[in-house]
Structure 1
Amino acid sequence: MRNVEEFFRRMRLQPRPGQLEAAQELARMLSNPAVGFEAPTGFGKTVTVLAALWSRELLPAVWRVRTYAVARHIADECARCEQRFFIAGGRERTCPLAQEYGAALPWYCRYRRHECSYFSKLLERAKEAYSGGITAFSYEDLSAERGCPYYQQLLVKGVEVYIAAYNMGLELPAAVEVVDEAHNAVEVRCLPESEVWEALSPIMDELPESFEPSHVGELLEMQLARAHDLKLMKRVARVASLLKGVWAWREEGEVCVLRLYRPRAARVVFVSATLTPVAHLFNVPVVSVPVRKREALVTTWLTTRYADFDEKMVTSYNKLIFTLRKYCRRILLFATKRVLSALSFDYGEEAVGEWLTHGGVLGLLARGRRAEGVNLEADCVVLAGAAFLPPHVRVQKVGLSPEVIPAVTALQNVGRATRAPDACVRVVLADERFARIPLLREHFELREVHSLKELQGALHQRDIKPPC
């Protein structure tokens, strides 16, 4: 095992407080087939993991991410550590036929690639043109003129860190898999109910009276395997992908599925700022860095509970937002689709740049693509409602307690504005149910406020004493 300190010296990096010790402990723990690493937002988890992998000579690695925005961040960190990286793209980003085939593309490629001219061209040229491998830093560097860009990625040479999305199925040559933001091992996905029923109509006769969503997904995959009608494939493909889950339910005109991600590699590192709630799902030891607790105000007169979220409650939430504008220039507002559509805010996720420039209130989905993994510098983070799943969704089936989903969602949302260790940010948990989630007390000093006037008093105190 190489000395972790040597990694930081070679890369001319000054370790942040606690980073060297965490990397050393993680390197020792990597003798296990799987290990978890939990550290607060802004700690420098990527560099810590790279140092540990380098120490144990476990590179190349596949670094799994949820979004390509996070992939760019990991690539920047790899470059800073002088580790050669390659950002791998899924079929939808690399295939010249992606626009034509749409959602059906993965199944077309899986079952019909022998009919594809791009794949055939790659096979014809692979031996003579690529005997020395391909030099590239991203899927964007690959050309369809040379054959299938998706499978060209297997020929990229000299890579130490492959960065790929969770759901990318290409088996990249690596010794270990790093699952970034590993709390996303448990996620919720939704599609319009009408789209699901339209896709299910051809197989209704094959369905038993009660069934698991994964069983339906298997039936749809069988249908895709024998389908030649592109319109049918497009209609069925998105639903087949959705229904690879452990529990399905209907909510607000959508069909939602609870999914559990399972890594492909034999050796795995799970990384997250909020790993503890889901670590037992993987049965792994966890290297954990202590968290500095931030104060969070819990508004006990507000809730987005379905039965209580009426016009009067909406007005109360909008009064809260109006009040916070007096104290904070940039406010991050997170909520579910149902709640966000009822509240007043200035910008949506398509206008983040304007919000950063002009200030105001930025409204984002609590489990949307901007909900984690990106840095959004704000003066205040407001969580309008605890994002519980419906009570009939039995998360216990995958070994979770019901409060885990809203707790992890809350921690990740707050983390968007607190990536810098010294970030001074007000945190408002705007739902009385937050006070009853024990997991949050491990990360926040919860302070209950019982009226708008009491909230203003707390905010005034924090104007005198900064909230950092």
Structure 2
Amino acid sequence: MRGQCRVDWPLAPRPGQKEVSERLSELLSSGFRVLFTAPTGWGKTLAALVALYSSRLLPTVWMVRSLTLGERVGEDAALLKLISVTLAGREKTCPLAEELGEGVHDYCRYFRYECPYNKPPLEVPLMSYEELMRLGAREGFCPYYAQDLVAERAEVIVQSYYRRVPRVARSFVVDEAHNLLMPREASYRISEMVKAVDEARRLGASERLVGALSAIIKYALIRDGPLDPKLFLDEGLEGELREIYLEALRARRGALRPLIKLVRAEAVYVEGERILTYEPRRILPFRPTLLISATLPEGADKLLQVDAEVRVPWSKRLKAHVVEHLTTKYGEFDSNMALGYKKLLLELAKDHERVVAFAASSRVARELTGVVDYYETRPPREWRGIALFRARGRFSEGVDLPADVAVMLGCPYLPPEVSSRLARAYKALGVQEPVKMALDVPMLITTLQCIGRAARSPGEKPLVVLADERYRKYVRELEPYLELS
């Protein structure tokens, strides 16, 4: 066990905060993987930083879903007089990212030593990644790899889940750790795929490959639902596509990347004008690691493979009602069921000024847009009415949507075919309870995250309406957060 040092709290700790921090320090000093859950606004970040500081486990790599969350970590680190830096990924820092887009990752993997920026800087002062980008472009070095030199001077290193981990790290923090239990989802417009097929044709793809890729596009245009690219592409055509893709990358052309993502994905689903790809997430194996979240369903400790758990219970749960005569279940969501959901929204709007609603899927949302005031757009500050969003859309996490009522319009399960494929992939990766990981956990986490948009601070107490009879099966998992009736 590492020796510990005394750390003075920069602010008077809240009730229980000091004791929790000491417990975290003890567990992390033993090299454990620790799950730490506490309500939104409780002060998890500061408690974790004090624990790491007192355990002499700095520098730490603090992993976040979005780099904007790193600002909060940096502010709390500054209270303890700790030096923090934020490291960005290739798409934000590589000078070639504008040309290559997402393809910049594969370019760096296969052609790094041909890159004109593949040289180390003479000296790098402590600076932000934006400043480093400008300096690298001016002096001709790679800002992405130069960030490693900046990290050597920091005690708190903030980065995304997927960036390379600096070698100087002595501990790891995964913020919003519930994201590790959600599959990686990417969305592409069908028009992007059409452009990629045209690019493949220009690069000399065979008529057979162009025909197979065009058939995939035609299928996506006429039918929503699961899509299996392997029904159109045999191994020979996949190999040809990879060769053309690498040739394009070498020439710094990244337009084929959407097609490669389509072929590599574990599951693919067509929803309207978009093609969605899904891949299982890998549970990060590092130790000691602190996994932090405000909303993790029961049993997450096993899925995240932790050694110990520190939970701060929600002192005040949100009042919630389950509406049992409605469901968005496949085969039961028809025009009559959609009418029932419309009536529910209108009734709620009569008694409450601001109603935030999350549709389980785009299919559900399309049926309900006629009765809402805002759809997939942030309402103005002093708004009134009904605002509708997709449950796994861009407003479902990390955005404040204060409201009087938060409504879940159906259980936001992943499509059945997607869940089935992900379960098989998780099983192959050795994940415990792969079906639960692919089916129940993503739905519950999405539900709690959507509700959380309307309750971002302890003073906000919206009424929660779970409008799907299937929520009855998850009372035990939801009760730590919701007072169900």
Give the TM-score, by structure 1 length.
0.80
Moved more, 154-163 or 260-269: 260-269
Query: Aligned partners of 1:290, 1:410: CA distance in 2, in Å?
Result: 18
Match of 2:289 in 1: 268
Q: Do the aligned partners of 2:271 and 2:362 also contact (CA within 8 Å) in 1? A: no
Query: Aligned partners of 2:302, 2:81: CA distance in 1, in Å?
Result: 34
Match of 2:465 in 1: 428
Q: Do the aligned partners of 1:67 and 1:369 also contact (CA within 8 Å) in 2? A: no
Query: Which of the residues 445, 456, 460 maps onto 1:419?
Result: 456
Match of 1:187 in 2: 183
Match of 1:161 in 2: 156
Match of 1:291 in 2: 314
Quote the offset at 1:265 in angstroms: 3.5
Query: Which of the residues 341, 346, 365 maps onto 1:317?
Result: 341
Q: Do the aligned partners of 1:64 and 1:166 also contact (CA within 8 Å) in 2? A: yes
Does residue 18 (structure 1) correspond to residue 12 (structure 2)? The answer is: no
Quote the offset at 1:56 in angstroms: 0.7
Does residue 333 (structure 1) correspond to residue 357 (structure 2)? The answer is: yes
Q: Do the aligned partners of 2:100 and 2:255 also contact (CA within 8 Å) in 1? A: no
Q: Secondary structure at the match of 1:76?
A: helix
Match of 1:34 in 2: 33
What is the root-mean-square deviation of aligned Cα atoms in Å?
Answer: 3.5
Quote the offset at 1:72 in angstroms: 3.0
Q: Secondary structure at the match of 2:461?
A: coil
Query: Which of the residues 328, 348, 360 maps onto 1:304?
Result: 328
* CA distance 1:243–1:442, shift in 2 (3 Å): farther
Match of 1:152 in 2: 146
Q: Secondary structure at the match of 2:472?
A: helix
Query: Aligned partners of 1:22, 1:151: CA distance in 2, in Å?
Result: 37
Q: Secondary structure at the match of 1:269?
A: strand
Query: Aligned partners of 1:408, 1:307: CA distance in 2, in Å?
Result: 24
Q: Do the aligned partners of 2:59 and 2:169 also contact (CA within 8 Å) in 1? A: yes
Q: Secondary structure at the match of 1:174?
A: coil
Quote the offset at 1:3 in angstroms: 5.6
* CA distance 1:220–1:317, shift in 2 (3 Å): farther
Match of 1:452 in 2: none
Q: AA paired with 1:446?
A: L
Match of 1:444 in 2: 482
Match of 1:97 in 2: 96
After TM superposition, list the pairs within 5 Å mapping 1:220-235 onto structure 2.
223=243, 226-228=246-248, 234-235=254-255
Quote the offset at 1:76 in angstroms: 3.2
Query: Aligned partners of 1:209, 1:96: CA distance in 2, in Å?
Result: 33
Query: Which of the residues 111, 121, 134 maps onto 2:125?
Result: 134
Moved more, 29-38 or 275-284: 275-284
Q: Do the aligned partners of 1:302 and 1:431 also contact (CA within 8 Å) in 2? A: yes
Describe the superposition over 1:402-426 as per-residue Cα deviations: whole angstroms up to 9, x where unpaired.
3222111111222222232232211
Describe the superposition over 1:118-153 as per-residue Cα deviations: whole angstroms up to 9, x where unpaired.
333xx2xx23xx1xx421244455422132221221
Q: Do the aligned partners of 1:107 and 1:224 also contact (CA within 8 Å) in 2? A: no
Query: Aligned partners of 1:112, 1:301: CA distance in 2, in Å?
Result: 58
Query: Aligned partners of 2:347, 2:83: CA distance in 1, in Å?
Result: 48
Does residue 250 (structure 1) correspond to residue 269 (structure 2)? The answer is: yes
Quote the offset at 1:25 in angstroms: 1.2
Q: Do the aligned partners of 2:188 and 2:258 also contact (CA within 8 Å) in 1? A: no
Q: Do the aligned partners of 1:91 and 1:105 also contact (CA within 8 Å) in 2? A: yes
Structure 1 gaps of 5+ residues are 448-468
The alignment covers a number of residue pairs equal to 427
Quote the offset at 1:53 in angstroms: 0.7
Quote the offset at 1:164 in angstroms: 1.1
Q: Do the aligned partners of 1:177 and 1:263 also contact (CA within 8 Å) in 2? A: no
Identical-pair percentage: 34
Query: Aligned partners of 2:170, 2:157: CA distance in 1, in Å?
Result: 11
Q: Secondary structure at the match of 1:119?
A: coil
Query: Aligned partners of 1:220, 1:159: CA distance in 2, in Å?
Result: 45
Structure 2 gaps of 5+ residues are 214-227, 427-432
* CA distance 1:3–1:357, shift in 2 (3 Å): farther
Query: Which of the residues 389, 404, 412 maps onto 2:441?
Result: 404
Q: Do the aligned partners of 1:136 and 1:142 also contact (CA within 8 Å) in 2? A: no
Q: Secondary structure at the match of 1:37?
A: strand
Quote the offset at 1:229 in angstroms: 5.5
Q: Secondary structure at the match of 1:434?
A: helix
Q: AA paired with 2:401?
A: L
Describe the superposition over 1:198-250 as per-residue Cα deviations: whole angstroms up to 9, x where unpaired.
69985989xx9989xxx99x9799647842457996344345456666x4253
Query: Aligned partners of 2:244, 2:294: CA distance in 1, in Å?
Result: 39
* CA distance 1:193–1:351, shift in 2 (3 Å): closer
Moved more, 329-338 or 284-293: 329-338
Q: Do the aligned partners of 1:220 and 1:236 also contact (CA within 8 Å) in 2? A: no
Q: Do the aligned partners of 1:104 and 1:230 also contact (CA within 8 Å) in 2? A: no
Q: Do the aligned partners of 1:162 and 1:172 also contact (CA within 8 Å) in 2? A: no
Q: Do the aligned partners of 2:93 and 2:129 also contact (CA within 8 Å) in 1? A: no
Quote the offset at 1:427 in angstroms: 1.0
Match of 2:222 in 1: none
